[in-house]
A and B are shown apart, each in its own frame.
Chain A
Amino acid sequence: DAGVIQSPRHEVTEMGQEVTLRCKPISGHDYLFWYRQTMMRGLELLIYFNNNVPIDDSGMPEDRFSAKMPNASFSTLKIQPSEPRDSAVYFCASREAGRINEKLFFGSGTQLSVL
């Protein structure tokens, strides 16, 4: 398996524009997580899905953020409109069902810069 695949690797956009980040989890993994990493706040969980259903979105900072998982092999994180403070590295991670808090497999991340 190629692991968790995220695209794009880098995104530079202007304030006010819509940004869509994409993630393909590892096949067979039932959980998908979106994290944001910044120097100030470290790794923060934004939202996670179980079997394509959003379970906990309490980490989503504002209504400008939305996430979807239309099928088991694809998820998106959208920011509309984007702001400079959204600049961060966004990671997608997936894991198997079964044991509680089992190993997370992270993608390589999307470096987002909002000018």
Chain B
Amino acid sequence: GENVEQHPSTLSVQEGDSAVIKCTYSDSASNYFPWYKQELGKGPQLIIDIRSNVGEKKDQRIAVTLNKTAKHFSLHITETQPEDSAVYFCAAGGQGAQKLVFGQGTRLTINP
């Protein structure tokens, strides 16, 4: 089955700097890669996703890149703000598979 590895487990950056979180997956059949943000006391919330027919996707300050050959994808947050502090999860899912496999999560802290 699918296995998703996420790094780093914790990340601390200065406000205004960029943050990058990386994930690798094992199943070459996976073709859907979402990123979820979890704030304290809340459930995860989708912030961006990418499908395997696209190499990069942007939405304002966040972007995701995908390298299918290497089986890795990354989340990039630019011009970080205090409200970006949260736990971020990557996930991978395959065609016909209704379930997602999540990475272990990255606790991002933005220092003022």
A interface, CB within 8 angstroms of B: 4, 31, 33, 42-43, 45, 48, 50, 55-56, 91, 93, 100-101, 103-104, 106-109
A55: chain B residues at CB < 8 Å are 98
Q: How far, in angstroms, from A3 to B99 measured CA to CA in the complex?
A: 20
B interface, CB within 8 angstroms of A: 32, 34, 36, 41-46, 49, 89, 93-105
Q: Does more than half of chain B's interface fall in helix, strand or loop, or is it mixed?
A: loop
A45 pairs with B99, CB closer than 8 A = yes
Q: How far, in angstroms, from A66 to B46 measured CA to CA in the complex?
A: 28
A4: chain B residues at CB < 8 Å are 43
Q: How far is the CB of A9 from chain B (nearest CB, A)?
A: 9
- The listed residue (B34, B42, B89, B100) touching A45 by CB distance below 8 A is B100
B96: chain A residues at CB < 8 Å are 100
Instruction: Give the 9 A-B residue pairs with the shortest CB-CB distance, closest first.
Output: A106-B43, A101-B93, A43-B102, A101-B32, A42-B104, A103-B46, A45-B99, A106-B44, A91-B43
A100: chain B residues at CB < 8 Å are 32, 93, 95-98
A56 pairs with B99, CB closer than 8 A = yes
Provided the pairs A42-B103, A101-B32, A103-B34 are in contact, do residues A56 and B41 lie with their beta carbons within 8 angstroms? no
Name 16 A/B residue pairs within 8 A (Cβ), A-sorted: A4-B43, A31-B98, A42-B102, A43-B44, A43-B105, A45-B101, A56-B98, A91-B43, A93-B43, A100-B95, A101-B34, A104-B34, A104-B46, A107-B43, A108-B43, A109-B42
